[in-house]
Each structure stands twice: as structure tokens, then as C-alpha cells.
Amino acid sequence: AGKADYRYADGKWTIKEIFIHLIDTERYYAYRAFCISREVEVDLHFEDRDTYVRNSNAAARTLEDLSSEFSAIRDATISLFKSMTPAMLDFKGSPDKMIYTARSLGWMCVGHNIHHHNILLEKYLTEG
């Protein structure tokens, strides 16, 4: 199993499950940004992240496989945002009563990854 299947406490995700969560969340933010940039409102909820992770088959995957998928998703996200005009990036949509722009969702992708990177460093990859 190794460090990739490590949980720092009961009920916490493994490192592989964190990667699954990052992949899923990037897909979600990118899709929301896509819809908002096209001025289409969709009612898309993503509250129960534990269910997504639980049903992901993370334990059977390798870190290399997850890394490859994450890179592919990130490349697709970058390509999507590069295709948007300033007006598309800044169109305001409110699919769930919160106001978003495609640009704000792009920053959320980045911030979310930084947040989990810090958790990995602080809770998983320590010397303890």
C-alpha cells in the first residue's frame, strides 16, 4: 500500500483520494466556468464530496495513473480558459444564488489545489 494509501486520522482521505478529489473538483469548476462563459445557467451541486471520493475506486489506482489524469484535466482546463474572451471570463452567472464568473472559478481551481497541497505537506508528508 505505502504512503499513497496513508490517512493521518480515521475518516480522513488517503493521498490517492485527495488526488481524486482534486481531479473531480477541477472538472466541476471547469464545467461551471464553461457554462457561465457561454451564458448558460445550470443547477449543478457538488456538496457531498465524500460520496464522489468513496465511489471513485481510488484504492485500485496508482499515483502515476492519478497524476496522469490530473495533468490531462489541468491541460484541458487551461485550454478552456485560453479559449475565452475577456467578456466570457467576466460574464456574471448565478446558478446557485452565488455570483460567479468564469475567471473567479479559474482562481478557485488554483486556490483549491494550493489548499490541498498545504494539507498534504502539513498532515501527510511530515517526518512523524
Per residue in 18-36, pLDDT (tens digit) is 999 999 999 999 999 999 9
Residue 128: the pLDDT is 56
d(CA 10, CA 33): 34
Q: Report whether pLDDT(1) > 60.
A: no
The residues, ordered by sequence, that sit 6+ positions from 4 with a Cβ below 8 Å of its Cβ are 14, 15, 16, 62, 63
How many Cβ atoms from other residues are within 10 Å of residue 43's Cβ? 6
**Spatial separation of the C-alpha atoms in residues 22 and 53, rounded to whole Å:** 10
Would the pLDDT of 127 be above 80? Answer: no
Residue 95 near residue 41, CB atoms below 8 Å: yes
Q: How many C-beta neighbours within 10 Å does residue 47 have?
A: 6
Which pLDDT does position 93 carry in this prediction?
85
- In sequence order, what E strands does 36-114 have? none
Radius of gyration of the chain (CA): 16
**Grid cell 480558459 in the structure block, residue:** 81
pTM of the predicted structure, to 2 decimals? 0.90
pLDDT tens digits for 35-79?
999 999 887 777 788 999 999 999 999 999 999 999 999 999 999
